[in-house]
């Protein structure tokens, strides 16, 4: 089966302005599937995918129609100072069952990653994150998942396999999936009044990285190392405050500002390790004069801008491009080793594998901040090092 079989072409009548596009605009630069399906054997960096599926989007029916509204705004934005190699594959057809749509998205994500093409998914409900995650199942690698959301989408009543996959409980499916190839889960922007204490205990017990909105407000730069550790990102548009993104039936008054959401997406694009990103829960039925569609198109633009400004300083090669810093703790024999890139000034920590934990490597590199190095230099153990060490064990 060809990937083209999963897609319907784009209806250009909904997207192209009366006067057409300027040559500087993305609408003129993106190879879109309106007639012929793009040739994926050519050199392509990014593929845009719409998914018209909202049957499991809780309290947000209509979000399946979002992709074309986003395209209309995205195509009008100007290309940055680089030559983009982007294709738009069109919209994944809604399957007879929701699981058929999941299978289609899983297959597309897997094949694109194999071709070294980054899928940019425009949903649809956030339950599609589970299908995005399944795209890694056959790639024989551990996966670090980052979700930007005001809630933990867990079923707090339990973790049984019978839990339905939907936009407010899909994480159960990811956490319990067999075979287990999830190494780390991170959340940015959860709001405590939407979060049960039991789910916080689960996150703590599993040594996952969860960051409350209040920690990040006015200090969005602290998200960079968290994002840099992710293979895939799922962004719920409900994580953005309703005044900036009203196009969501579940929009709330508090959340990220629009410019912070764009910065998060730029950090995601700059992440050398990241191989897929999905934007979910945008619902044009609730939008105001296309405001949320424009914001989401700008977030995608910022992701593309970050992608074309990648520093390619991970893995750490050649070693001459890095500085090594060693610190000793006050009350332990551990020597903590930090690595700083001369190219980007970004930091990593070396966390040793347990004996026999890895045949090929002696330590795991985890992105960190300069503040983690200062903590270690003062003789204290950084919390990130300890949590990572526990996961490796």
Distance CA 216, CA 105 (A): 32
**E strands, the chain, in order:** 7-8, 31-32, 46-51, 86-92, 118-122, 143-148, 182-190, 209-212, 232-236, 276-280, 322-328, 335-341, 347-352, 363-368
DSSP one-letter string for 71-128? HHHHTTSBP-SS---EEEEEEEPPPSSHHHHHHHHHHHHHHHHHTT-EEEEE-S-TTH
Tokens of 371: 């503040």
For residues 282 and 317, the answer to whether their CB atoms sit within 8 Å is no
Are 287 and 360 members of one domain?
no
Distance CA 372, CA 356 (A): 27
Are 302 and 180 members of one domain?
yes
Q: What is the mean pLDDT of the chain?
A: 93
Are 77 and 15 members of one domain?
yes
Determine, yes or no, domain membership for 313: no
Determine, yes or no, domain membership for 94: yes
Beta strands at 7-8 and 86-92: parallel, antiparallel or unpaired: antiparallel
Tokens of 325: 């810093």
- Give every CB contact of residue 172 below 8 A, 6+ residues apart in sequence: 154, 155, 159, 163
Q: Which of residues 255, 286, 307 is at a domain's end? A: 307
Distance CA 83, CA 289 (A): 31
Q: What is the pLDDT confidence band of residue 164, given thresholds at 50, 70 and 90?
A: low
- The boundaries of the domain holding residue 113 are 3-307
Question: Which domain CATH number covers 165?
Answer: 3.40.800.10
Are 329 and 303 members of one domain?
no
Q: How many domains does the chain have?
A: 2
Total-model pTM: 0.95
pLDDT at 357: 55
Are 147 and 193 members of one domain?
yes
Are 50 and 144 members of one domain?
yes
For residues 88 and 30, the answer to whether their CB atoms sit within 8 Å is yes
Whether the predicted pLDDT of 155 surpasses 80: no
Give the pLDDT confidence of 205-262 residue by residue, as tens digits.
Answer: 999 999 999 999 999 999 999 999 999 999 999 999 999 999 999 999 999 999 999 9
Are 207 and 326 members of one domain?
no
Are 148 and 118 members of one domain?
yes
* Positive/negative CA dihedral, 315, 318, 322, 323: positive
Determine, yes or no, domain membership for 312: no
Q: Which of residues 253, 275, 307 is at a domain's end? A: 307
Q: Is 393 helix (H, G, I), strand (E, B) or coil?
A: coil
Q: What is the DSSP letter of 248?
A: S
pLDDT at 158: 45
Determine, yes or no, domain membership for 346: yes
Give the pLDDT confidence of 261-270 residue by residue, as tens digits.
Answer: 999 999 999 9
| Neighbouring-strand partners of residue 166 | none
pLDDT at 152: 95
């Amino acid at each position: 089966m060809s990937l083209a079989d999963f897609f319907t072409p784009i209806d250009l009548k909904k997207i192209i302005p009366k006067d057409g596009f300027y040559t500087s605009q993305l609408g003129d630069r993106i190879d879109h599937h309106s007639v012929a399906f793009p040739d994926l054997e050519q050199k392509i960096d990014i593929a845009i995918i719409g998914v018209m599926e909202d049957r499991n989007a809780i309290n947000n029916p209509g979000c399946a129609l979002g992709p074309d509204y986003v395209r209309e705004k995205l195509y009008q934005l100007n290309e940055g100072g680089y030559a983009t190699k982007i294709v738009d594959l069109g919209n994944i057809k809604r399957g007879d069952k929701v699981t058929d749509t999941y299978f289609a998205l899983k297959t597309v994500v897997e094949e694109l990653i194999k071709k070294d093409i980054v899928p940019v998914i425009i949903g649809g409900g956030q339950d599609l994150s589970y299908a995005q995650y399944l795209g890694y199942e056959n790639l024989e690698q551990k996966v670090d998942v980052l979700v930007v959301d005001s809630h933990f989408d867990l079923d707090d009543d339990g973790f049984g396999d019978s839990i339905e996959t939907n936009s407010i409980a899909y994480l159960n499916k990811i956490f319990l999936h067999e075979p287990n190839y999830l190494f780390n889960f991170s959340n940015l922007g959860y709001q405590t009044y939407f979060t049960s204490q039991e789910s916080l205990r689960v996150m703590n017990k599993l040594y996952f990285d969860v960051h409350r909105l209040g920690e990040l407000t006015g200090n969005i730069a602290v998200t960079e190392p968290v994002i840099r550790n992710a293979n895939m990102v799922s962004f719920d548009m409900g994580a953005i405050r309703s005044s900036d993104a009203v196009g969501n039936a579940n929009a709330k008054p508090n959340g990220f500002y629009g410019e912070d959401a764009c910065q998060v997406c730029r950090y995601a694009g700059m992440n050398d390790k990241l191989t897929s990103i999905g934007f979910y829960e945008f619902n044009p039925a609730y939008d105001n004069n296309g405001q949320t569609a424009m914001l989401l198109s700008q977030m995608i633009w910022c992701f593309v801008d970050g992608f074309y400004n990648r520093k390619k300083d991970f893995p750490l090669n050649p070693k001459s491009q890095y500085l090594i810093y060693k610190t000793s703790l006050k009350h332990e024999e551990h020597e903590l080793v930090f690595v700083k890139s001369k190219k980007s000034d970004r930091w990593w920590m070396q966390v040793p594998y347990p004996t026999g934990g890895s045949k090929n490597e002696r330590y795991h590199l985890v992105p960190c901040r300069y503040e983690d190095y200062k903590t270690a230099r003062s003789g204290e153990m950084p919390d990130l090092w300890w949590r990572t060490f526990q996961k490796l064990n």
